[in-house]
Copies of this chain bind each other. A is one copy, B any other.
Amino acid sequence: MFRHNNRAASQIRPVKITRRYTKYAEGAVLIECGDTKVICTASVADKVPPFLKGAGQGWLTAEYGMLPCSTNERMQREAAKGKQSGRTMEIQRLIGRALRSIINLEILGERTIQIDCDVIQADGGTRTASITGAFVALYDAVESLLAQRLIVSNPIRDHVAAISVGIHDGSPLIDLDYSEDSTCDTDMNVVMTGGLDLVEVQGTAEGAAFTRKELDAMLDLAQQGIMELISLQKKAFAADQ
């Protein structure tokens, strides 16, 4: 298979991370992974959801949306339809779990960090780009809390990033774009920490089922891609100092 721009099977798309992309949220990042572009913001509110009232800890939650024209065929606006699709809910739950896995909510105190990931252009991998970008927004929001001395130590325990992998004609492929995604038999999203431990593994056979060996090949590829993404997150933080 020839990939767009002669990309190798193990090569992720060019990534661009723009911090402070908008001016209000404490963290506001535009992440571009090839033609997939997502605005990820992290904003802080001085309250927690009812089930945590008085528990002496904070919370982090995420929402996800796509602009109607972010896709090839215009999608119906969820606000107009009056409800979020199952896919949207599934993705925003995934983003929330991924980021909660690397933050110490006790140190955060009785606050909620709200992550918003809004896709302005979609070309495959929007949920993984959202996680990778939202981590940077979270980092900036935490920096802002530290700078204001609202928290005294950093609640972030590790980096977190995500990538998609798939099986095409029996071989593993990383960071699928939209056209590749539809030709793959299996599609897997992997979320890992900076310590290279697994946070989420979500593999789905869209056509033929997959073998343990294929699963292993996909996980190897994913690990390599996530290492690159984490080094790009670090570069984005360094650029700023």
Contact = CB atoms under 8 A, between A and B. Distances in A.
A155 interface: no
A198 B203 contact: yes
A79 B35 CA distance: 25
Interface string A161-186: 00000000000000000000000000
Interface in A64-83: 65, 67-72, 74, 77-83
A18 interface: no
Interface residues of A, number: 63
A118 B69 CA distance: 10
A152 interface: no
Nearest to A84: B79
Contacts of A86: 86, 89-90, 92-93
A16 interface: no
A88 B79 contact: yes
17 contacts: A23-B121, A39-B120, A65-B67, A67-B116, A69-B116, A78-B79, A79-B88, A83-B83, A87-B93, A89-B89, A90-B93, A101-B205, A192-B209, A198-B203, A199-B204, A201-B215, A215-B219
